[in-house]
Structure 1
Amino acid sequence: MFKNLKNDMPASIVVFFVALPLCLGIALASGAPLFSGLIAGIIGGIVVGALSGSHIGVSGPAAGLAAIVLVAIGDLGGYENFLVAVVLGGVIQLLFGILKAGVIGYYFPSSVIKGMLTGIGIIIILKQIPHFFGYDSDPEGDFAFFQIDGQNTFSEILNSINYITPGSAIIAIIGLAILIFWEKVLSKKAKIFQLIQGPLVAVVIGILFYVFTKGTSFLGIPGENLVSVPIPENIDSFFGQFSFPNFGVITNSDIWITAFTIALVASLETLLCVEATDKLDPEKRVTPTNRELLAQGTGNIFSGLIGGLPITQVIVRSSANIQSGGKTKLSAIIHGFLLLISVILIPRLLNMIPLSVLAAILFMVGYKLAKPALFKKMYKLGWKQFVPFAVTVAGIVFTDLLTGIGLGLGVGVVVILLKSYQNSHFLHIEDKSNGKHKIKMTLAEEVTFFNKGAILKELDSLPRDTYLELDLMKTRYLDYDIIEILEDFSHIAKERNIDIKLVSKRGVEENPTSFIKFFRTRPKSSISLS
């Protein structure tokens, strides 16, 4: 693992700078103490990072759980009561891992996963536009379209035009220029520019800009446009920031309902992130999903015990890790230690980082997730791939992460049913023989009730005086609904002068009486022709 330290160390620094404001912002959006977001980030990096089988995934507090946390804290009677649900949610996730529920993530179509990544990329860009120009009225973690203050994504962007902070906007533009120039030019010139990453340089320049312009009326950056890390005055005040669960309410049914909700949503979000992260991994390594659930469950137990928010694997941090050259889980672990060290030793230095510089870094992350070329590629793959992809993207942008994924998955299922409807049989029309149309219908390997409509439509459209050859040679499973359709058609065939020849592994049936008898001797639920 340590042989990739030269790649993992710079990547961990980038992830640290991305994770820091997100941890604070998600805590703010959740209505929880700011320090709880940092605890979750530290546990997600060190504990989950060490236990996880993911090589490049990064865990921490997730925006997708912010709304659940916000409501639960109020309903359960306080943050200490809520922490009990976090601990129990971790225990339930351990049970999910033991029961091998991690396979759920593999049942999501690739088009939906790609749509999720693209939608998140667009959301990152849209949400960072106000911060880029120095309008920081909302927390970084507010990723839903409709926000907690009644605004929405686009109204916030329009509002930011009226509240541009010149200093924040200027350093953001400078930072973005540094990032682009570093990646496109300098990183290809010498190894030193690969070791020292552009985001780190942009952050350092941002701090220097703030220091030298402090106090000026035009270029000065106000405090609300800077990172805000809690600053303990002494060791007692530092440990005083930790909260502990009130296990006296463990018998409350609402606690268990919240715990199960956290476990289910966090597990689903983690598994989707794992699937997406594995697709982004240049080395195409596969994460053991059951082990990931065990790691996440352990992380949530530790986080809840010391006052942290619920934890999931997070695509924003994971993608930043991959795009910054991270190779192994060491980058996630180091980023956790950097969070821990920074909040203890250098909180005042961190509070000099302009949020607009971090917005510029996230611009690059979002663009790499949502490149225009990907839309073109998905369109060329055909509507069966493009429609679920586009619906997922739109759903995530205009609602929230889980709703968007649900919409995309629903459309994907409809596409599967439609293709199943279309592919249940193959109709081959041959030349007329003896005054009759000769038609051969070959049924698919498995024919279920999904195919009723397609087969019934074809049979009803057969003209009079037809010779129909029904080929079941490749059919291994025939649903009883289809058997009923074929039996009913055998009666209609007499009236329309349609001769039926049934070809199967059992032999050949040449007349309607034998045709009916063949099916009536089968089990009434279905027939297996293998």
Structure 2
Amino acid sequence: MFKYIKKDLPASIVVFFVALPLCLGIALASGAPLFSGVIAGIVGGIVVGALSGSKLGVSGPAAGLAAIVLTAIGTLGGYQNFLLAVVLAGFIQIVFGVLKAGVIAYYFPSSVIKGMLTGIGIIIILKQIPHFFGYDAEPEGAVTFLDPSGENTFSAIFKVFDHLILGSFIIGLVGLAVILLWDNILSKKAKIFTVIQGPLVAVVLGIIFYLLTVSSGALSISDSHLVSVPIPDDINSFFGQFSFPRFSEITNVEIWIVAFTIALVASLETLLCVEATDKLDPDKSVTPTNRELLAQGVGNIISGLIGGLPITQVIVRSSANIQSGGKTKMSAIIHGFFLLISVIVIPNLLNKIPLSVLAAILLVVGYKLAKPGLFKKMYQLGWKQFVPFMVTVVGIVFTDLLVGIGLGLLVGIVVILLKSYQNSHFLHMEDKSNGKHKIKMTLAEEVTFFNKGAILKELDNLPHETYLELNVLKTRYLDHDVIEILEDFSHKAKERNIDIKLVSKRGIVENPESFVEFFKTKPKSNLSLS
């Protein structure tokens, strides 16, 4: 596990700086104590990171669950009751893992997964633009198009110049320039620039800038535009930030409903992120999805027991890990320890980091997820890839993650049905022979009820005085609905003077009396009937 520590350690530092404001921002957006987000980040890094089979996935509190958490805390009668739901959700996820529900991840089209990554990248960019200019009205980590005030993402962007904080903007610009210079030029010049990451240098410069300008009216940055980690007065107040579930409410049906909802949504988000992370992985590793559900379940149990938010694997942190050169799960685990140590030892120093610098880091992460060249590449792959991709992107940006993915998946299914409709058979027409058209129809390997319409249309359009050769030699599955269509057609064929020649594994049959009886009494062959 320490073989790639020279790559994992720098990557873990970048993930730490990405994760810290997101943990705090998601807790704020969820209506939960700020420290609950940090707890979830620590558990997601150390516990889930250690148990997971994912090399590069990073887990923590998920913005996609913020709306559920916000509502649940109110309806369940307090945060301690909600924590019980988180613990129960963890046990439900373990059951999902035991039942091997992780296989669901493999049924999402590649175009939808790429659309998910691109959509999240666009959201990161749109949401971080206001923070980059010093307009911090919306919590860091919010991902919905509508913010709590009822305004939308674009209206917040249009207001940045009315709320511009000059100091935040300048150091954000410097931080962005440093990161780009580091990635594109310096990292190729000397090894030291790959060990020390650009985002770390940007953060250090941000702290120095804040300290130098703290008394300067024009360039000073107020506390509301800095990271805000809770600072305990002593060891007792530190442990006082932890909350514990109220187990006496375990018979409350509403808690079980919330627990199942969290388990279902968190598992689905995790599986989608696992699939996306594996696609981003340069080594193309394959994460065991059932083991991931077990790891997430254990993580949520522990997080809920000590006052943390629900945990999922998160694509923003995972992609930052990959982009920073992480190679093994050690980067995720170390980032968890960094979160733990930093909130204990240096919370005052963390609270001097301008949010605009962290926004610069996330802008680069977002751009790498949503590169313009990807749109061109998906377009060149054809409409069957491009349409589900674009629907997913637009759906995620204007609604939320699961709705966008659901829309993309729905379009993907429609495309599959359309192609299935078109590809159920191959029709070849020859010249007239003995006064009749000779037509060959070869059925595909799999012919289901989805193909009924296409086959029925072709048969109905056959002209009178036709000699039809129906070939099922390669057909391995023939739905009974299709057999009934052939049966009905055989009766109409006599009226239209159409002769039928059936070519099958059993041999050749001229004008079969009954297609149903023929396939029903077939000898052992490779043809499977419903």
Q: Does 1:329 align with 2:356?
A: no
Rounded to whole Å, the distance in 1 between the matches of 2:248 and 2:182 is 55
Q: Does 1:204 align with 2:204?
A: yes
Q: Does 1:347 align with 2:343?
A: no
Rounded to whole Å, the distance in 2 between the matches of 1:17 and 1:385 is 35
Rounded to whole Å, the distance in 2 between the matches of 1:160 and 1:395 is 25
Q: How does 1:245-284 map to 2 (within 5 A)?
A: 245-284=245-284
SS at match of 1:513: coil
Say if 2:46 and 2:336, in contact at 8 Å, map to a contact too: yes
Rounded to whole Å, the distance in 2 between the matches of 1:86 and 1:386 is 38
**One-letter amino acid matched to 2:70:** L
Q: Deviations over 1:389-446 (max 9, x none)?
A: 1111110000000100111111111111111101100001112111211100000111
Residue 26 of structure 1: aligned partner: 26
**Structure 1 residue 496: Cα displacement:** 1.4
Q: Does 1:306 align with 2:306?
A: yes
Structure 1: where are the runs of 5+ without partners? none
Say if 1:464 and 1:497, in contact at 8 Å, map to a contact too: yes
Rounded to whole Å, the distance in 2 between the matches of 1:517 and 1:436 is 28
**Structure 1 residue 161: Cα displacement:** 2.5
Residue 359 of structure 2: aligned partner: 359
Say if 1:475 and 1:529, in contact at 8 Å, map to a contact too: no
Say if 1:52 and 1:295, in contact at 8 Å, map to a contact too: yes
Say if 1:273 and 1:315, in contact at 8 Å, map to a contact too: yes
**One-letter amino acid matched to 1:429:** M
Rounded to whole Å, the distance in 1 between the matches of 2:515 and 2:339 is 74
Structure 2: where are the runs of 5+ without partners? none
Rounded to whole Å, the distance in 2 between the matches of 1:279 and 1:37 is 27
**Structure 1 residue 518: Cα displacement:** 2.3
In the alignment of these two chains, the number of paired residues is 528
Q: Deviations over 1:199-247 (max 9, x none)?
A: 0000011111111111222111111110000011111111111111110
Q: Deviations over 1:172-213 (max 9, x none)?
A: 111111111111110000000000000000001111111111
Residue 433 of structure 1: aligned partner: 433
**Structure 1 residue 515: Cα displacement:** 5.2
**TM-score, L = length of structure 2:** 0.98
**Structure 1 residue 521: Cα displacement:** 4.9
**One-letter amino acid matched to 1:131:** H
SS at match of 1:442: strand
SS at match of 2:377: helix
**Structure 1 residue 100: Cα displacement:** 1.2
**What is the aligned-residue identity percentage?**
79
Residue 79 of structure 2: aligned partner: 79
Rounded to whole Å, the distance in 2 between the matches of 1:529 and 1:63 is 47
**One-letter amino acid matched to 1:61:** P
Q: Cα–Cα, structure 1 residues 256 and 529, in superposed 2: closer, same or farther, change >3 Å? A: closer
**Structure 1 residue 463: Cα displacement:** 1.0
Residue 16 of structure 2: aligned partner: 16
Q: Cα–Cα, structure 1 residues 14 and 470, in superposed 2: closer, same or farther, change >3 Å? A: same
Rounded to whole Å, the distance in 2 between the matches of 1:54 and 1:377 is 28
SS at match of 1:430: strand
**Structure 1 residue 517: Cα displacement:** 4.9
Q: How does 1:415-430 map to 2 (within 5 A)?
A: 415-430=415-430
Rounded to whole Å, the distance in 1 between the matches of 2:394 and 2:522 is 48
Q: Does 1:450 align with 2:442?
A: no
Residue 103 of structure 2: aligned partner: 103
SS at match of 1:501: strand
Rounded to whole Å, the distance in 2 between the matches of 1:212 and 1:280 is 40
Residue 499 of structure 2: aligned partner: 499
Root-mean-square deviation over aligned CA pairs: 1.5
SS at match of 1:332: helix
**Structure 1 residue 513: Cα displacement:** 2.8
**Structure 1 residue 130: Cα displacement:** 0.4
Rounded to whole Å, the distance in 2 between the matches of 1:446 and 1:12 is 49
**Structure 1 residue 281: Cα displacement:** 0.7
Residue 216 of structure 2: aligned partner: 216
Residue 402 of structure 1: aligned partner: 402
Rounded to whole Å, the distance in 2 between the matches of 1:495 and 1:162 is 80
**One-letter amino acid matched to 1:187:** S
**One-letter amino acid matched to 2:110:** S
Q: Deviations over 1:135-185 (max 9, x none)?
A: 001111210112222111111111222111111111111111111111111
Say if 1:509 and 1:515, in contact at 8 Å, map to a contact too: no
Residue 511 of structure 2: aligned partner: 511
Judge which range, 242-251 or 143-152, deviates more: 143-152
**TM-score, L = length of structure 1:** 0.98
**One-letter amino acid matched to 2:129:** I
